[in-house]
Chain A
Amino acid sequence: MNCRSAESLYSAFIEDELSQEEQRSLEAHLMGCRRCSGAVKELKETLVLMSALPTVETSPHFEEEIFDRIRSGEALRPTLIEWLGDFWTADRLRPVFLGGAAVCALWIAVFVARPDTFFPKGDAGLNREAVAPSSNSSDSSDEGSLASSGGVPAPDAESAPATSPVFGPRAALASSAPVANRGSASGDDFQWVDSQAPVASAGSDSALRNPGARFQDEYILDQFYLDRGTGRGAPSIVPVSGNSTDDVYITF
């Protein structure tokens, strides 16, 4: 043990709080070190002097002044820090936390029971007008007239604004989807069946028969998607690319 490590143990040594090993080690050091042994004696004397410090007494009116301040109402006014401390106590915050937990639980319950609320089916979730590519203004204008003509029901721009979030696979589709269903507009009703991804699957059939059901087969070879429309309009296959020159429209 050196003097530096011995120094850190002086107080514990004086107060007899060292372990036996530390005690033996320090005593061995003090036996051979006059500086440290002298320092320990001085420290003991210092503690004696400290304990001899007289108590600083209060004034004779101390107690009555406190009660006067209480009677005057001064003691009843909390400071700003006390007020804030009171406000942020667990008791006061408990209703806030419980309310927050209830809202979260409700949200999760609705999410599980009614996923359509968050992932709307049909045109409600795919705002075709809102995602219309700005590079092709003629298509955009066409879409408005076509949609109003009954080929594809016009999406409600107010209920699904351009900035409204679209979740899931529709988000990817929406970002590149074309704006018009010209096949439907021109009245060319024909069937198109892709050999690798037939549209007329059991799932799609049932979905077509039941407009309220969620349609599962909306991806077709990553190049087309099935726009089921609403219950009034005919479903159609729409190219994802949005290239108006070579796309194919098939309506049912």
Chain B
Amino acid sequence: MPIEPLRLKKLDPLADLSDEDVMERCATGSEAGFRTLVQRYRSRIMNLVCRFINDRDRAEEIAQEVFLRVFRNRERYRKSGKFSTWIFTIAVNLTKNEIRSRVRHRGTYSLDAMEEETGGQGLPFPDWKPLPDEDLNAREIQHKVAEALRKIPPRYREAVVLRDVEGLSYEEVGEILRIPGGTVRSRINRARLMLKERLKAHISLEEDV
């Protein structure tokens, strides 16, 4: 039994390398390197995009496009910057384009567009993978949190998602969104206050339970 992990480690020589080192190999034409990066970031990118826009299928398309852009621009990547910041920047920019496109095509995406633009009421967030063991109440609260997140204005949403969902530092959030540190902190605080107001009832429910 202890042999198996050792064999697995040998199979993936890139497992111990940092993202930046793997990306460097990818830039020199390593398909294995690119595959490693896709495996490392696919969930985070999908999660990020899906929290920004309210369309799971479209989110997956955008997430794929993010990786395709990484592949296309692999030679332009500079190792001096963090790979995570670079790929999140690509993802945020593509997602912003998607939101702008929806707002422009208001006739086609009237509900979504209004929702994205104003952070107002909208359709419920698509269900994520079913978790059979999960408590029904917990799932309902998760659904309410996702819905509350979807309803706050995009500029606050993107900051709080990067910080509280993706767990990035304030500096990384500022770098990705190209806004100064003070603005990042202010937006995140404001977004959290908005979420708190929307989740107030459920927070009390949680405390009672």
> CA separation between A12 and B193, bound complex, in Å?
13
Q: Is the CB of B68 within 8 A of A70?
A: yes
Q: Is the CB of B72 within 8 A of A43?
A: no
Q: Is the CB of A46 within 8 A of B196?
A: yes
Q: Is the CB of A74 within 8 A of B68?
A: yes
Which of B73, B146, B206 contacts A45 (CB under 8 A)?
B206
Asked if A57 is an interface residue, CB under 8 A from chain B, the answer is: yes
Which of B67, B128, B195 contacts A57 (CB under 8 A)?
B128
User: Chain A: interface secondary structure?
Assistant: helix
A208 to chain B, nearest CB (A): 67
Q: Which residues of A contact B63 (CB under 8 A)?
A: 58, 62
Q: Is the CB of B42 within 8 A of A58?
A: yes
Q: Is the CB of B42 within 8 A of A63?
A: yes
Q: Is the CB of B72 within 8 A of A76?
A: yes
Q: Is the CB of A63 within 8 A of B206?
A: no
Which of B64, B146, B200 contacts A53 (CB under 8 A)?
B146
> CA separation between A63 and B207, bound complex, in Å?
41
Asked if B189 is an interface residue, CB under 8 A from chain A, the answer is: yes
Q: Is the CB of A52 within 8 A of B142?
A: yes
Q: Which residues of B contact A50 (CB under 8 A)?
A: 145, 149, 160, 164-165, 195
> CA separation between A74 and B69, bound complex, in Å?
11
B17 to chain A, nearest CB (A): 19
Cβ < 8 Å to B, chain A residues 163-185: none
Which residue in chain B gives the minimum CB-CB distance to A89? Answer: B76
Q: Apart from A47-B192, A56-B43, A82-B69, what are 5 other A-B pairs with CB-CB below 8 Å?
A: A46-B199, A53-B145, A55-B44, A56-B128, A76-B72
Q: Which residues in B have some Cβ–Cβ distance to A below 8 Å?
A: 35, 38-39, 42-44, 46-47, 50-51, 56, 59-60, 63-64, 67-69, 71-73, 128-129, 131, 138, 141-142, 145-146, 149, 160, 164-165, 185-186, 188-189, 192-193, 195-196, 199-200, 202-203, 206-207
